[in-house]
Amino acid sequence: MRQQVETSQSIAKRDPARVMRLSRLGSFHQSRLSFMRILTRRMTRENWQFSRPVFDFDAKGVGHAVYCAHTPDRTYSLIAFGFDLPAEARSDRVIATSWDSTFTLFDGVPDASDIARLRANIPLQEAGRVSEKELSVSRANRSVRLWDHVVSRLAAGRQPDRHEVTKVGYLMRTTAVYGSGKLGAADREMIADRPECTAPFQIEMLSVFLIRTYVRDLVQHMANLRGGSQAVTLDADIARSMGIGNSTGLGMAPFVINHPMLFNNWIAAREQAIAVVRSLPAATRDEAATFRDLLERSIVSADIWSSAHDIQIAKLAQLRADLRLLAEHVAGADLLAAQPWNRLFLWAEETLGEDAQESLASLMLEPYGALVDPLADQMRDTDASAFRIDGSMKVAALRAILERAYGWALRIDWSQKDHCARAWYVSKEKLEPRLGERFEEPIAPYEQPLAPGRDAAALHAALADQSPDATLAAFLLAHPEHRHSVRRAQLVDRAPYAEIRDNTIGSDLLPIDMLRCKLSFFGATHFDPRSDRWVRICMFGNAPYADELASAQGDDWSYPPALRGEA
Amino acid sequence: MSHSLNEIAAHAKRAARGAGLSWGMAEEAARATRWLASHGLNGPALLCEVLAKNDGVPHVQVAPVSLDGDWHARACELCPLVLGTTLNDCADRLAQGDAINARHVSHPLLVIPFAAWAAIHLSQPVRVSFAGLRIDTDGDGIWVDDPQGDLNTPKAETVTFSRTDKRADPAQRPGFRGTVTSEIWARLDTFAQRTFAPATEASRLLGAGAGLSDND
């Protein structure tokens, strides 16, 4: 294989100017490099063991449980607190103050004093306080309709209606999974050297993985208490089809701007994988068969993906049509010789919309775990020095960087209202990031630095009357207001996928594009926008449960079984 | 109270921005505060004092007038954050063996993290001297020689930065937590509050984009 790669014409990574547009980032799909799949691969490979030392709930779901994940070296414990939440208190918003269930991932095995301490804090979420023994804090609400349906069906001795299950996809949805130091929890730096934590967001993904088991257990427990001897056990296939929902608002969107090097490393790893596969001179019959199988299952996935949001309905219609077009093309195409993946990809770029192009990009990686999966090691941010400004750089050099990386921003007339109609700010209550109308609300004085394009254009203008040979140290001494933009520009010069190359404050901005991009790297599926800045997704849908990991075949659970729709 | 370092950095960044620093300066003030806190030093309290002292004072008044000769501000004391960023921007000067002198500097301990980053850039320890004390740093570790207990001094007549030799004796290495008193946390919070937009009912719904029922 290696020899073939070397003798073949090598395809470069895609141009950041093409990749880093919001409409494309907002069309990304999960892939082998998604953080959920990185986690489940490791759990299987290392044969993690799981236990449930505590499970103590009443008929209304009030109580607590402890779920332990035993890695070869240590134990992590999810502690779950369940409540009987009145319907009117159920809100996905960050301003909510109570939830159906709240959770923390504990570093080790909690003792009674830990449980007592956490019982006094975890249910309060942001109003509580945790310690460096806690690695995440999260909460979830029931999907009321499906929860009631499943409990009453199981209690009555019947399985839930598969159609109802498919329509929602989950019994509970998380509304926040906090990690890395939030509310006093351990910083990522404390655990980043552990092998199971090196890839991004592994603690958060493990939390959700364990929450999914808790939810299955709790719904069964409540059905058993209600139905007594009549109750039946939830069918394993139906249980597996359900993931954990997640409801995400604007709070997540600034993350990809505030962590440019990390964001670069995610995108760069996936682009590298795409380039490697496109460069392959040939594919085996098995590889082609794997691809064809997963393409069929992608079509199923798109078919059961529902949304009531106009933008998403239109995107879905095109994605479904495009995937069928792709399947027709693939049926007659030679996938074995003459750089088959590159030919297919070029065809798709000419023929399909961005959503299907990105779906194909992820699908092409599937047969090549050995080539793709090691790239996961490059997705964390270890380059602390990227923060440092090189003050010895000359003005002329920075101008050249700006013109190269921010040409798109220099071409925008930022004085036009449409191009700067929005402003990102943080609200006084709950410190929640929000997006407002700059010319209609009194928010401009509170604006967050989340418009790198506009700020880079301002920096470029300020450099116009500087001597080309002057150093940035001297420039910044007089112009501290450009310091953040100089830092970003120097970073983007080294990390070309670090910056969204699009307007993040224009009147036509869709923050859901930023959310979907980030969530696709988590491994989320079935994006269901509730507005232009609020999205529901499904996590770990069709994934093996802890007790199924050892017997799970392969790593392709993100694609639903092809026949499920007919069941 | 024990805080995560990310909490300290986030709080410091908001406070610095609230006190009028540019975003880029606030980012570095936050990292510096975190760095000091991770070494068990009094970063949050000193940041608080500097922000209060220079509240509303334009950058130009607390910045070096010129990068030639000794660095000094026009009339006020030099802000240690501006001195720190400028030092780091000019770190290559230290590589040539030249010392940099700064005069009339407030709260000089706050420049240490910037010297640490310069040391990482130079791959060589940097020495910072002021009052009667000497601090060496290789970026991660710190060696403090402070016979008279001047570490938290509010003012130094002269601060000198120079390249120095690698040290074999054990350094003070950073930890993973920081301690901030509730009083200092609250004082920083008064600055941070200035960065938050007052909520209105309209922004509550529009700004976050929700408004649909979640009880489904």
Q: Where is mean pLDDT largest: A429-433, B191-195, B197-201?
A: B191-195
Over the stretch A208-244, which tens digit does the pLDDT of each residue have? 999 999 999 999 999 999 999 999 999 999 999 999 9
Chain B environment of A425 (Cβ under 8 Å): 196-197, 207
Residue at A373 is within a domain: no
CA angle A291, A292, A298 (to 5 degrees): 85
C-alpha pair distances (Å), B68 with each of A466, A471, A474, B102: 18, 13, 11, 11
Element (H, E) at A534: strand A534-539
**So what's the pLDDT on residue A308?**
87
Q: Where are the alpha helices (DSSP H) in A79-143?
A: 112-119
Residue B9: partners with Cβ closer than 8 Å, 6 or more residues away: B30, B31, B33, B34
Query: Cβ contacts (< 8 Å) between B57 and chain A: which residues?
Result: none
Q: Which of A427, A510, A514 to mutate against chain B (most B CBs within 10 Å)? A: A427
Q: Give me chain A's average pLDDT, please.
A: 94
Over residues A463-490, mean pLDDT: 97
Please tell me the distance in Å from A107's CA to the nearest CA on chain B: 15
Confidence of residue A530 (pLDDT cuts 50, 70, 90): confident
- In angstroms, the CA B71 to CA B73 distance is 7
Q: Does A423 touch chain B (CB under 8 A)?
A: no
**Rg for chain A, CA atoms, rounded:** 24
pLDDT at position A564 is 42
Give yes or no for a contact between A281 and A338, defined as CB atoms under 8 angstroms apart: yes
Chain A residues with CB inside 8 Å of B31's CB? 387
The answer to whether A391 contacts B88, with C-beta atoms less than 8 Å apart, is yes
Check whether A253 has a pLDDT greater than 60: yes
Residue A173: which of A539, A522, A542 has the closest Cα?
A539
Contact assignment for B207 to A486 by CB distance below 8 Å: no
A398 and A507, same domain (yes or no) = yes
pLDDT at site A227:
96
User: Model confidence at B214, in pLDDT bands (50, 70, 90)?
Assistant: low
Put simply, whether B193 touches A (Cβ < 8 Å) is yes
Tell me the two tokens of residue B137.
Answer: 């740093």
| Interchain CB contacts (distance < 8 Å): A and B | 174
Cα separation values, A142 from A60, A105, A119, B209, Å: 13, 20, 20, 21
Q: Are residues A135 and A154 in the same domain?
A: yes
Instruction: Give the mean pLDDT of A448-468.
Output: 97
pLDDT at A251: 83
A425 lies in the same domain as A467 = yes
Structure tokens belonging to residue A542: 């069709």
Chain B neighbours among A 431-470 (CB < 8 Å)? 431-432, 434-437, 441-443, 446, 449
Name chain B contacts of A184, Cβ cutoff 8 Å: 2-4, 7
Kindly report the CA angle at B57 between B54 and B58, in degrees rounded to 5? 130
Q: pLDDT digit string (tens) for A305-339? A: 988 899 999 999 999 999 999 999 999 999 998 99
Structure tokens at A447: 């604006």
Tell me: do A351 and A415 sit in the same domain. Answer: no
Is residue A326 domain-shared with residue A441, that is, in the same domain?
no
Q: Is B199's pLDDT higher than 80?
A: no
Distance of alpha carbon B129 from alpha carbon B111, whole angstroms: 11
Nearest to A175 by CA among A104, A117, A96, A105: A96
pLDDT at B210 over 60: no
Q: Is the Cβ–Cβ distance between A544 and A555 less than 8 Å?
A: no
Average the pLDDT over A508-528 and give the result.
95
Residue B159 Cα, gap to closest chain A Cα (Å): 19
Q: What is the helix (H) or strand (E) element at residue A277, kind and residue range?
A: helix A260-279
Residue-wise pLDDT tens digits, B25-80: 999 999 999 999 999 999 999 999 999 999 999 999 999 999 999 999 998 999 99
Nearest CA distance, B149 vs chain A (angstrom): 31
| Facing residue for A187 by CB, picked from B6, B21, B193 | B6
Please tell me the predicted confidence (pLDDT) of residue A1. Answer: 43
> Do A472 and A398 touch, CB atoms closer than 8 A?
yes
The verdict on A54 and A199 lying in the same domain is yes
Kindly list the residues from chain B whose CB atom is less than 8 angstroms away from the CB atom of residue A488. Answer: none
Task: Inform me whether the C-beta atom of residue B68 falls under 8 Å from chain A C-beta atoms.
Answer: no
Total residue count of chain A as it appears in this document: 567
Ordered by start, the domain boundaries in chain B are 2-196
Residues A89-102 as b or e (16 or more Cβ within 10 Å = b): ebbbbbebebbbbb
Answer whether B205 touches A (CB < 8 Å).
no
Over range A181-202, report the average pLDDT.
96
Tens of pLDDT, residues A295-305: 999 999 999 89
Q: Is the pTM of this model over 0.80?
A: yes
What are the distances in angstroms from CA A75 to CA A197, A227, A309, B27? 13, 35, 42, 36
Average confidence (pLDDT) over A518-542: 93
Q: What is the pLDDT of residue A531?
A: 87
d(CA A156, CA A165): 17
> Which candidate in B8, B17, B23 is best for mutational testing of the A interface (most A CBs within 10 A)?
B23
Higher pLDDT, A77 or A92: A77
Contact check, Cβ <8 Å, B59/A180: no
Same domain, A105 and A174: yes
* Interface contact flag, A181 B2, Cβ < 8 Å: no
CB contact under 8 A, B208 and A483: no
Report residue B142: phi and psi, to 5°: -145, 140
Q: How far is CA A317 from CA A198, A351, A354, in A?
A: 38, 15, 13
Please say which residue of A317, A348, A367 terminates a domain. Answer: A367
A534 within some domain: no
Of all residues in chain A, the one with the smallest CA distance to B213 is A91
Domain match, A66 and A212 both: yes
Number of domains in chain A: 3
- Verify that A430 and A398 share a domain, yes or no: yes
Q: Where are the alpha helices (DSSP H) in A170-259?
A: 188-191, 202-227, 236-241, 253-258
- B interface test, pick of A146, A187, A311 with most B CB neighbours within 10 Å: A187
* Cα angle A86-A89-A92, degrees, rounded to a multiple of 5: 125
Q: Are residues A262 and A191 in the same domain?
A: no
pLDDT for res A319: 97
Give me the residues of A, 108-167, that contact B with CB < 8 A. Answer: 131-132, 141, 143-145
My answer on whether A238 and A317 are in the same domain is no
In DSSP notation, chain B reads: -EEEHHHHHHHHHHHHHHTT--HHHHHHHHHHHHHHHHTT--HHHHHHHHHHHTTT--HHHHS-S-SSSSB--SSSPBPHHHHHHHHHHTTHHHHTT--EEEEEEESGGGGHHHHHHHHHHHTS-EEEEETTEEEEE-SS-EEEE-TT--TT-SEEEEEEEEE-----SPPBPP-SEEE--HHHHHHHHHHHHTTEEPP-HHHHHHTTT--S----
Same domain, A389 and A418: yes
Q: What is the pLDDT of residue B212?
A: 53
pLDDT in tens, A1-58: 444 444 457 999 999 999 999 999 999 999 999 999 999 999 999 999 999 999 999 9
Residue A532 covered by a domain? no
Domain enclosing residue A350, as ranges = 281-367
Average pLDDT taken over every residue of chain B: 93
Is there a domain that residue A404 lies in? yes
